[in-house]
Structure 1
Amino acid sequence: MSKTERKRIIDYIFRHPDTPEDIRQQFERWMLAREHDSGIDEILWDIWEHHAAPASEEEDRRGLERLRASLRASRVRTLPRRVLRYAGMAAAVVLVFLGGYFAATQTLAPEKEVTLLTAKGHVGEFTLPDGTKVWLNGESRLKYNAEFSGRTRDVALTGEAFFEVRKDTLRPFRVSMNDLQVEVLGTSFDAMNYAFGSSEEVVLKTGSVKISGEHLRSPVTLRPDERFSLNRLSKRACVEKVDARNYSQWFSPRLIFDNTPLKDIIINLERRYNIEISLSSNISPEKRLSLVVCHEPLEDLMEVMSSLMSIRYRIDGNRVLITQR
């Protein structure tokens, strides 16, 4: 694709804020896949320098201030940090590219929406306008109104995120997923809603959450160290007792397992690498291992585990099958 064609795509998307959602999602994935393409950098800077925006300087200033306040990324893992700002389009759009995530906000009515995106293999740490901290796992998306000033604090999640919600008894914090809505006042929990996953899940670390949805007869309230899951196919819901630490440390720089049961290691790895792991029935999930996981590619990690255990593995997209060797 030529530079002219790329520029035409970028320019069109941001001149037309009413572009259908499916096309905008394809564009976002396209941009993430090219975050290190110097040609894209040149196009963005060219538009930044030469495009005449009809939006006023005051609107641009407010948009930039809102973006800075709502998208404070205190850590993004892996790649060197670089920031590009692209603004001054017809709808006064501002884009930020940082490490492995992409964020966009529009500063004009009717909808002032912020979208946070992370690429595969990246984790973003953000602070929302109310002070809530969010760790966004790879291939995930979080959307919310840029004002964030209504009677409720609403966000929409695709993928996985861990939330440390700032307590506000007058303004509940609500997370919408495909079939579920999670409501809290102040707590910490993990929520998962990947398209490839077999279920939508919520795991509570501290506080309490109320889960509702059209496939639930009545709202479900979780207590700490409980996991709620809703099967995508059967629409059956269940609550089980778990160790919430296994579901809330995937964003740590290092995962340290010291004589840890294999079943707990698998839970952590599923979160860390955005995968589902199936263990054959002739391998004991209680078998204990000791290892440290940093930022190794999944295949390298599986080779290490194969050397520690008598196993074979097969990686098929977002699914891993482990069998006895």
Structure 2
Amino acid sequence: MKDKEERKLQFVLRYYTYGKLDTQKALRKMMGEGQSHPSGRRWMYFSGIAAAIFLCIVGHHILWDGKKPHTVCITAEAGVTRHFLLDSTLLILSQGATVSYDTDTYGKECRAVSLSGKVYFSVRRNVHSPFLVTSNYAQVKVLGTEFEVDESRQDTATRVYVKSGKVVFKARYGKDGIILTKDMCGMLAHGDEMPVVSRPAFPNPSAWATGKFIYRNTPIEEVLKELSLYYGTPLYSSAHYRTITGEFKADSLEEIITLIEKTLDIKITKKSR
């Protein structure tokens, strides 16, 4: 009896193809299309076998193909968000930015993440596992450094700024790229095959992430332009010839203005827009 049931079960399996199980066809073959209808009990028995096989196959299919449970996706919905990866690499995401990675493969041959928006990275060095950032248009490869990738949806270019260390910046499907080191910027116009080196617009492009403004003999006019843009408040001073060296926390504009005024003995004026 057991052998007979096993043969019928194998017969049903013969009618399974990937992604599809024709239970009706299998059952008709088992019972014989020219025979009279089986009793209710036998019909339910074989239908139960077919249904069980179907459920097992569907369950296996989901477990085999479903990658989502292994993918971590971090999104900064409300504002700037900090997140540590498995190797203690720090991500700082600007509002609306997203970073995702596969926990099954991260750190094995490389540490690969995908990005959209603007994200600052402080990568923990590992010579055996390079860090790889891929966006819609670009790719950045490093061993250990601090850098920023900016690929906002409304922009027509991807920008990379290196705060420390060294990175290789190239088009996503390009063969060659450019090397960027400390305080260098690169820009890849969407549709181009190679990025180009560009000058940072301001001394502290990543102040939004680091929370600091660092100046080294920087003209006060350049400092005030950066602070005006960062805080959305136009700042002016008549002492354009002065320079400043110092480090300021980004917590309070009023505190920064007071410190600069006392250090340089100048007056800074705020004007409404």
Q: TM-score, normalised by structure 2?
A: 0.55
Percent identity at matched positions? 23
Partner of 1:129: 86
Partner of 2:227: 265
Q: In 2, Cα distance between the equivalents of 1:239 and 1:137?
A: 23
Where do 1:173-192 residues align within 5 Å?
Answer: 173-192=131-150
- Helix, strand or coil at the partner of 1:251: helix
Q: Quick check: 1:205–1:245 contact (8 Å CA) kept in 2?
A: no
Shift of the 182–252 alpha-carbon distance from structure 1 to 2, 3 Å rule, reads closer
Q: Quick check: 2:171–2:188 contact (8 Å CA) kept in 1?
A: no
Shift of the 295–157 alpha-carbon distance from structure 1 to 2, 3 Å rule, reads farther
Partner of 1:155: 113
Partner of 1:40: none
Partner of 1:246: 204
Q: Tell me which of 169, 193, 216 is aligned to 1:211.
A: 169
Query: Do residues 140 (structure 1) and 97 (structure 2) align?
Result: yes
Q: In 1, Cα distance between the equivalents of 2:102 and 2:173?
A: 27
Deviation at 1:235, TM superposition (A): 6.5
User: Match for 2:270: what amino acid?
Assistant: L
Q: In 1, Cα distance between the equivalents of 2:142 and 2:214?
A: 30
Where do 1:64-83 residues align within 5 Å?
Answer: none
Shift of the 215–142 alpha-carbon distance from structure 1 to 2, 3 Å rule, reads closer
Q: In 2, Cα distance between the equivalents of 1:174 and 1:185?
A: 9
Note the alpha carbon deviations across 1:28-73, whole angstroms, 9 max, x for none: xxxxxxxxxxxxxxxxxxxxxxxxxxxxxxxxxxxxxxxxxxxxxx
RMSD: 4.2
Shift of the 237–201 alpha-carbon distance from structure 1 to 2, 3 Å rule, reads same
Deviation at 1:180, TM superposition (A): 0.7
Q: In 2, Cα distance between the equivalents of 1:263 and 1:256?
A: 14
Partner of 1:167: 125
Larger Rg: 2
Q: TM-score, normalised by structure 1?
A: 0.47
Query: Do residues 116 (structure 1) and 93 (structure 2) align?
Result: no
Where do 1:19-38 residues align within 5 Å?
Answer: none
Shift of the 253–172 alpha-carbon distance from structure 1 to 2, 3 Å rule, reads closer
Q: Quick check: 2:97–2:116 contact (8 Å CA) kept in 1?
A: yes
- Helix, strand or coil at the partner of 1:264: helix
Q: In 2, Cα distance between the equivalents of 1:206 and 1:256?
A: 14
Deviation at 1:198, TM superposition (A): 3.0
Q: Quick check: 2:126–2:143 contact (8 Å CA) kept in 1?
A: yes
Note the alpha carbon deviations across 1:127-178, whole angstroms, 9 max, x for none: 1001111111111100001232320100011111111111110111000011
Q: In 2, Cα distance between the equivalents of 1:109 and 1:171?
A: 26
Partner of 1:193: 151
Note the alpha carbon deviations across 1:183-220, whole angstroms, 9 max, x for none: 00111101111101232111011111011225756211
Q: In 2, Cα distance between the equivalents of 1:129 and 1:151?
A: 14
Shift of the 118–235 alpha-carbon distance from structure 1 to 2, 3 Å rule, reads same
Q: In 1, Cα distance between the equivalents of 2:214 and 2:140?
A: 30
Q: Which runs of 5+ in 1 are unaligned?
A: 1-89, 91-105, 274-278, 280-285, 297-306, 313-325
Q: Kindly tell me the number of residue pairs found equivalent between the two proteins.
A: 184
Q: In 2, Cα distance between the equivalents of 1:287 and 1:200?
A: 34
Q: In 2, Cα distance between the equivalents of 1:165 and 1:252?
A: 14
